[in-house]
Amino acid sequence: MYGQLYRHLLLPLFDGVKGRQTMAHWRDAEASQWWSRERLEELQLNSLRSLLTHAAQTCPHYAEQWAALNLDPAHLQSLQDFTAWPLLTREIIRRNRLRLRTTAAVKRMTKATGGSSGEPLQFDLDSGSNDRRTAMTYRGYDWAGAAPGTKQLYIWGTAVGNVPTWKRLKMDLHHRFDRHLILSCFEFTPAQMRQHFERMNRYKADVIVAYTNPLYEFARFLKRESLVPVKPKSIVVGAEKLHDFQRELIEEVFGAPIFETYGSREFMLIGAECDRHQGLHLSIENVLVEILNEDGTPTPHGQEGNVVITDLYNYGMPFIRYVNGDRAVAGLEMCSCGRGLPLLKKVVGRQLDTLGTPDGRKIPGEFFPHLIKDFPAVRRFQVVQEKLEQITLKLVVDGGLTLGEREQLLGAVRKCTGTEVDICLQMVDDIPLTNAGKLKVVVNAV
Ligand SMILES: [Zn+2]
């Protein structure tokens, strides 16, 4: 009831009051998701041409760069032609932010990405494109039964530091109004997890929305303590890579299907799963997503490559062929649901650091989450390499590890690193998350 009221009355009302177009964009997106691929790509090409023309005329950085390369938006005949255009990196944005902005009169807002990659970034967008990306998020979350107005429980990073009381009250009011209960994923001690569990069961949410790793940590805790949560209808996870073993355990403990989403501060929702779970449908009316090899050529379907994104509507500070640092696998051409939106088969996320050894071995960071999952007592961990000859495993453990478990863990790591590396197990009380609520799992500080 509240959900319907919220969606059909309150949201449109807000749009009217604030001069936004969110609901109109959402309605359009509900229709266009069923268009043929050809029609969607035609829409993309038209949007892209307009964006490039705007950038060439009003953004000093792009104007100069493209003129020097003799690239003219008027000559863009197909999406394939676009592969000739230069890439944009975080470093370029940091150095040229003001020159990337448009000189045209658009209403701009400023945002910042968290430091989970160790590289915070400030950027701008125009408020019209904010309405479009919000609409894409509504649509994608709706696929997971999590449209605005549904009763949602968030396990999420909450504001850190000194937040003024008025701001906290305002946020609380917003959450109540949106029917969101926010539980902090910071300071995830057993006592707090038990409290979260009790609040969760009283709240009886339709949907749980969570960062992947804290939810996995929480699910392991519930299983270990034989605590049975009230079943939601679905679970939405994002912000961090979802491993298959994490999906299995979370679905088992909460008794509901997981919907993976992929987004970022720069673009909001880039992709989301529908109920067929065959991959993540890309929000291609809003973003042009390319998967590229190191040499800039398109990565064949089924293989992993670098994610490169163009926001088709951010006229305030255009992101054109932005390398966001994530890796992903391009997927099947079509999903069995019939939507024309292409799929990402898998989001690998930000690549974990690779560790090295004196005898030249390379150990992919992915090794560690797979290893640690077999030690249920380990609640959180971090692997740090400060010297080539030494790797430290920091572990937050409930009740300690038995001698056998320690040997088993050390043995598995040694097998991988060889004998020239000293492996140090360090039991710690906590491993702080980054300001964005994420955990840097593997750190190569050599
Ligand atoms: Zn689908």
Contact 329, 292 (CB under 8 A): no
Q: Is the pLDDT of residue 42 over 90?
A: yes
CA of 342 relative to ligand 1 center, distance in Å: 9
Backbone angles phi, psi at 362, to 5 degrees: -120, 125
CA of 47 relative to ligand 1 center, distance in Å: 24
Q: What is the pLDDT of residues 352-387, one digit of tens each?
A: 777 888 887 778 777 887 788 778 788 788 999 999
Mean pLDDT of 269-289: 96
Closest of 211, 202, 271, 220 to residue 239, by C-alpha: 211
Residue 329 or residue 434, greater confidence: 329
Mean pLDDT of 282-291: 96
Q: What is the pLDDT of residues 83-127, one digit of tens each?
A: 999 999 988 998 899 999 999 988 888 887 754 444 567 889 998
Average model confidence (pLDDT) across the chain = 89
272: tokens are 């989301």
pLDDT recorded at residue 108: 86
Q: What is the pLDDT of residues 221-267, one digit of tens each?
A: 999 999 999 999 999 998 778 889 999 999 999 999 999 999 988 99
CATH class of domain segment(s) 355-444? alpha beta
Q: Is the pLDDT of residue 15 over 80?
A: yes
CA of 254 relative to ligand 1 center, distance in Å: 23
Type of residue numbered 287: V
Greatest mean pLDDT among 1-5, 106-110, 111-115, 187-191 lies in 106-110
Q: Is the pLDDT of residue 137 over 80?
A: yes
115: tokens are 């430091």
User: Among all chains, which residue has been given the structure tokens 């968290």?
Assistant: 114
With bands split at pLDDT 50, 70 and 90, how would you rate the model's confidence at 158? low
* Structural domain 2-72+126-285+330-349, CATH architecture: 3-Layer(aba) Sandwich (3.40)
CA of 6 relative to ligand 1 center, distance in Å: 26
Closest of 116, 91, 106, 100 to residue 60, by C-alpha: 100
CA of 32 relative to ligand 1 center, distance in Å: 14
Closest of 208, 221, 198, 211 to residue 256, by C-alpha: 208
Q: Is the pLDDT of residue 156 over 90?
A: no
Angle between helices 60-68 and 90-100 (to 10 degrees): 110
CA of 205 relative to ligand 1 center, distance in Å: 25
CA of 340 relative to ligand 1 center, distance in Å: 9
61: tokens are 């950085």
Question: Cα 205 to the chain's mean position, in Å?
Answer: 22
CA distance 273 to 262: 9
Residue 399 CB partners (closer than 8 Å, separation 6+): 377
CA of 272 relative to ligand 1 center, distance in Å: 9
Q: What is the pLDDT of residues 162-183, one digit of tens each?
A: 677 888 888 888 888 888 998 8
CA of 221 relative to ligand 1 center, distance in Å: 32
pLDDT recorded at residue 110: 87
Q: With the C-alpha atoms ordered 58, 60, 62, 65, is the resulting torsion angle positive or negative?
A: positive
pLDDT recorded at residue 195: 93
CA distance 253 to 239: 21
CA distance 45 to 310: 12
What's the chain's length in residues? 446
- End-to-end Cα separation, the chain, in angstroms: 56
CA of 334 relative to ligand 1 center, distance in Å: 8
CA of 274 relative to ligand 1 center, distance in Å: 5
CA of 143 relative to ligand 1 center, distance in Å: 9
CA of 333 relative to ligand 1 center, distance in Å: 11
pLDDT recorded at residue 162: 62
pLDDT recorded at residue 115: 44
With bands split at pLDDT 50, 70 and 90, how would you rate the model's confidence at 187? low
CA of 43 relative to ligand 1 center, distance in Å: 20
CA of 273 relative to ligand 1 center, distance in Å: 7
Closest of 291, 381, 380, 301 to residue 333, by C-alpha: 301
Contact 273, 234 (CB under 8 A): no
Q: Is the pLDDT of residue 157 over 80?
A: no
CA distance 156 to 357: 36
The neighbouring-strand residues paired with 363 are 355
Contact 343, 37 (CB under 8 A): no
CA of 244 relative to ligand 1 center, distance in Å: 19
Residue 58 or residue 399, greater confidence: 58
CA of 230 relative to ligand 1 center, distance in Å: 28
pLDDT recorded at residue 332: 66
CA distance 84 to 69: 10
pLDDT recorded at residue 257: 98
CB burial of residue 35 (10 Å; 0-12, 13-18, 19+): middle
Give, in degrees to the nearest 5, the angle at Cα 372 between 224 and 363: 170
CA of 149 relative to ligand 1 center, distance in Å: 23
Q: Which of 172-181, 201-210, 347-356, 395-404 has the lowest mean pLDDT?
A: 347-356
What residues flank ion ligand 1 with Cβ within 5 A?
A: 274, 276, 335, 337
CA of 183 relative to ligand 1 center, distance in Å: 30
User: Domain spans of the chain?
Assistant: 2-72+126-285+330-349, 355-444
Q: What is the pLDDT of residues 257-275, one digit of tens each?
A: 999 999 988 999 999 999 9
CA distance 444 to 446: 6
CA of 219 relative to ligand 1 center, distance in Å: 27
Q: Which of 63-77, 125-139, 181-195 has the lowest mean pLDDT?
A: 181-195
Continuous segment of H or E residues that includes residue 64: helix 60-68
Question: Cα 420 to the chain's mean position, in Å?
Answer: 37
